[in-house]
Structure 1
Amino acid sequence: MSTTRRTVATLSAVAAAVLASTAVSLPQAFAAPAPTARMVPVQGHRIVGPATGIRHSDSTNWAGYSATGSRFTSVSASWVQPTVTCTSATTYSSFWVGIDGDGSQSVEQTGTEADCSGGSPVYSSWYEMYPAYPVNYSDTVKPGDHFTSTVSTDGSGTFTLKLADTTRGWTHTTTKKSTTASLASAEIIAEAPSSSTGVLPLSNFGTASFTGATANGQPIGSFSPDQMNMASGSTRKATTSSLSGNENFSVAWNHS
């Protein structure tokens, strides 16, 4: 079942929840609206140096690490769900692992969300086979929950997307097909989601800590990955730390 990931601007959180829970039984003319925000391939990607070893780049929507230059069939990491600090503004942030999206127009990914709506935090979890819309899981997500996730493929178009909240004891394993996946990158990312009009304001998530970041079963640092900061023009929106132990890092919020 495809469900609404978050409220549109004209709906209250309660109304959106009612729509999502009744989407299956409603006639087509009254179906819940499509999500207004989604995770998309890296945008505005600009390498700022160096040319060898771990690279550094700025992106308008991604912060974290992305490995390229090989054929990737698995990516894994763990993280602690950040706590968002909300104002009256509606803002978004997501934390995920995935294959593709850096240099390709498909992404196979799963992760969590930390948004602000009407001054209140909204936490959720999801998977997405971009360019298809994301699908929410219904399980409770709270700040401080420990997550572990793996996206893997058999290399012939079948993907397994696994997301586990080890704090609350739930796990989702979703199997999907893709005929467009290029298997060209593997990444562990904090993202400012996008809508049809572009990148959305980034929630103040403080710091997101990722551990055990691997690609093809090896520490992601083994692939001389791209260390990506999120920026809009001269404004730094999120900063990615150096790798520790070749597979651990954090992303710090700087600006919406």
Structure 2
Amino acid sequence: MCAAATPPPCRRSKSPWPGSPSSSRRAGHCPPANSRPPDRHPRGRGTPAATHASGVPQVQALPVLAGRRPTPQTAHPMTTANKITITRILLIPVFVMFAVYYGESVRAGHPQESLRAAAIAVFLAAALSDGIDGFLARRFNQRSRLGEILDPIADKGLLITTILTLTFTDWKYTFPAWFPVLVIGRDLVILTGAAVLQFVNGHLEVRPSLLGKAATALQMSAIAWIMFQLPNPFWVVAAAGAATLLSGFGYVADAIRQLHIGGHGNPRT
């Protein structure tokens, strides 16, 4: 009787799937007929990976967990609109420099009109950039969180800095001292009311009013009137001051309305 043939010695397999039929065959021996590769995906934890004809499991994408959505990709914050807004902020000290030097030349008795022209040009460029960056943000979908922060800083910074500069420098016409106090005081009241609403109601509804837009337009008109040295600036400054005061009352009334809607501010509650 012939002795059974001794199987060749097992060799160490380098297959990435140890224990699979293919790794066993590479190692020099065959697995039992009734054996099968271990189930790498227990029932209830996913779908088993598909197997190629060669016996090598194919890579399958993991299922997305229920209730989780892929995080949307956000645009780069340094958009063209934001670059224009930053440029507007950088133009503010340039305007102040030209305006102050012009005021000093007026005080010295030798007004240098080229400095006034430069101050006007810088202010107009900064003011026009406000409309340009807003158009780009809407037209090319360049809205961003950074733009929402920078835009009001640039707008208020340019407006208030110009009013203060034209109040305390020696131009031919200047703003009266009460005008910047009124403008800055109204803005502080609005900021304080917004903070109170956010703290008490937990949310804030920002709605620019028609009166507020009219006040801003009249303030810009008063600035242009003084810089171009048009006669009798008193009436346009007075109109801008009245609109600023009335818009402040309007914002306070709207804040009180939001407090009542939120269930606060009512003495009976």
- TM-score of Structure 1 vs Structure 2, range by shorter chain: under 0.3
TM-score (norm 2): 0.23
Question: When you count strand as a share of all residues, which structure comes out higher?
Answer: 1
TM-score (norm 1): 0.24
Structure label with greater radius of gyration = 2
Higher RCO (CA < 8 A, seq sep 6+): 1
Question: When you count helix as a share of all residues, which structure comes out higher?
Answer: 2
